[in-house]
């Protein structure tokens, strides 16, 4: 089997598995293991002096260790091509999160429609960092679309981008870095210093993937407004990366995202993305789900084409 096929076949199999299965709770998942390691080390190190340095050492150790463990495992498996393909395919499957992203977003919309506002708020709280107990229906729907756009970059396109650069080891190292940011990268007093490196490193490694995500969304939807919003609003977000896919989606749907939200008891004044503060509908949600799937599929196809060429 050629080196190109050893990259392409696991990518296609992993993408197909994610599309069909998503992330069933009954399956063991490496992200849970990553979380256990992060909790263990942060519990030991996030106290006393030199928190910023200790957070940097922890993040560097966990990211590098993840890369090396996966690299050595796959190098060993290369002696048996079938085993390598199986392990690499499983790695890609675990590295992608598009099906689960769409499924979790659908749970929010379904709860809101069938069980009412309180159920929608509760379901939304499982997938966003903002406080949800005072959100109205429009704010819940807006949060779902923002999450679909932002996490299309973090949970799908960025892992694929690093797979293209360094295979499953780079993909899993990215997932560890992103998990670190999710768990300790908050600007709260507890993690302000300890999680500083994890947050900044995540900003750096997502710089290119976030912009690729937004541009793919714009191209696939043939939306001139989406492109205009990309340049007009993308850089105004508090995050250096999340604003670009969110701005692209707001332009594609001709709606408004952003605005003030409460995070961990603190009111955060985020700028508005877009000017058309219209009502978000189920049609907008389903359009976004379709766009997410095809953006992922096109990214997979581009990687395959680059490896063949």
Q: What is the pLDDT at residue 16?
A: 97
Residue at token pair 């992103």: 178
Mean residue pLDDT of the chain comes to: 93
18-41: pLDDT as tens digits: 999 988 877 888 999 999 999 999
Can you tell me the mean pLDDT for 122-132? 87
Can you tell me the mean pLDDT for 166-189? 92
| DSSP helix/strand/coil, 267 | strand
285-308: pLDDT as tens digits: 999 999 999 999 999 999 999 988
Give the CA dihedral 22, 28, 32, 34, nearest 10 degrees.
-110
pLDDT at position 275 over 70:
yes
Q: What is the pLDDT at residue 268?
A: 66
pLDDT at position 270 over 90:
no
Q: What is the pLDDT at residue 179?
A: 96
- Tokens at residue 131, please? 């406080």
For the entire predicted model, the pTM comes to: 0.94
Q: What is the pLDDT at residue 294?
A: 97
Do 206 and 199 touch, CB atoms closer than 8 A? no
Q: What is the pLDDT at residue 267?
A: 60
Q: Where are the alpha helices (DSSP H) in the chain?
A: 3-21, 30-45, 51-77, 81-95, 98-115, 117-124, 137-152, 158-184, 196-205, 207-221, 224-233, 243-253, 282-308
Q: What is the pLDDT at residue 265?
A: 63
Domain boundary assignment for the chain: 3-308
Higher pLDDT, 192 or 216: 216
Residue 75 CB partners (closer than 8 Å, separation 6+): none
71-121: pLDDT as tens digits: 999 999 998 999 999 999 999 999 999 999 999 999 999 999 999 999 999
55-82: pLDDT as tens digits: 999 999 999 999 999 999 999 999 899 9
Q: How many CA atoms lie within 13 A of 307 on its CB side?
A: 23
pLDDT at position 143 over 70:
yes
């Amino acid at each position: 089997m050629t080196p190109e096929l050893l990259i392409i076949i696991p990518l296609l199999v992993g993408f197909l598995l994610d599309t069909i299965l998503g992330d069933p709770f009954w399956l063991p998942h490496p992200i849970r293991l990553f979380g256990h390691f992060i909790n263990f080390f942060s519990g030991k190190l996030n106290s006393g002096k030199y928190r910023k340095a200790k957070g940097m050492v922890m993040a560097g150790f966990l990211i590098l260790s993840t890369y090396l463990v996966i690299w050595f495992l796959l190098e060993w498996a290369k002696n048996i091509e079938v085993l390598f393909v199986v392990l690499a395919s499983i790695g890609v499957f675990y590295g992608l999160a598009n099906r689960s992203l769409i499924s979790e977003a659908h749970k929010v919309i379904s709860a809101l429609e069938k069980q009412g506002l309180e159920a929608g708020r509760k379901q939304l709280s499982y997938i966003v960092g903002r406080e949800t107990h005072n959100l109205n229906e429009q704010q819940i729907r807006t949060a779902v679309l923002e999450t679909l756009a932002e996490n299309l970059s973090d949970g799908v396109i960025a892992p694929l981008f690093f797979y293209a650069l360094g295979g499953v080891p780079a993909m899993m190292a990215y997932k560890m870095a992103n998990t670190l940011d999710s768990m300790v990268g908050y600007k709260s007093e507890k993690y302000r210093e300890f999680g500083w490196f994890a947050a900044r490193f995540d900003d750096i490694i997502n710089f290119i993937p976030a912009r690729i995500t937004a541009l793919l969304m714009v191209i696939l939807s043939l939306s001139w407004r989406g492109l205009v919003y990309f340049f007009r609003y993308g850089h105004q977000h508090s995050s250096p990366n999340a604003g670009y896919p969110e701005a692209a989606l707001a332009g594609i749907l001709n709606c408004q995202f952003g605005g003030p939200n409460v995070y961990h008891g603190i009111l955060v004044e985020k700028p508005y993305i877009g000017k058309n503060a219209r009502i978000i509908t189920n049609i907008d949600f389903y359009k976004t789900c379709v766009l997410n799937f095809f953006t992922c599929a096109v990214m997979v196809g581009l990687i395959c084409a680059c490896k063949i060429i």
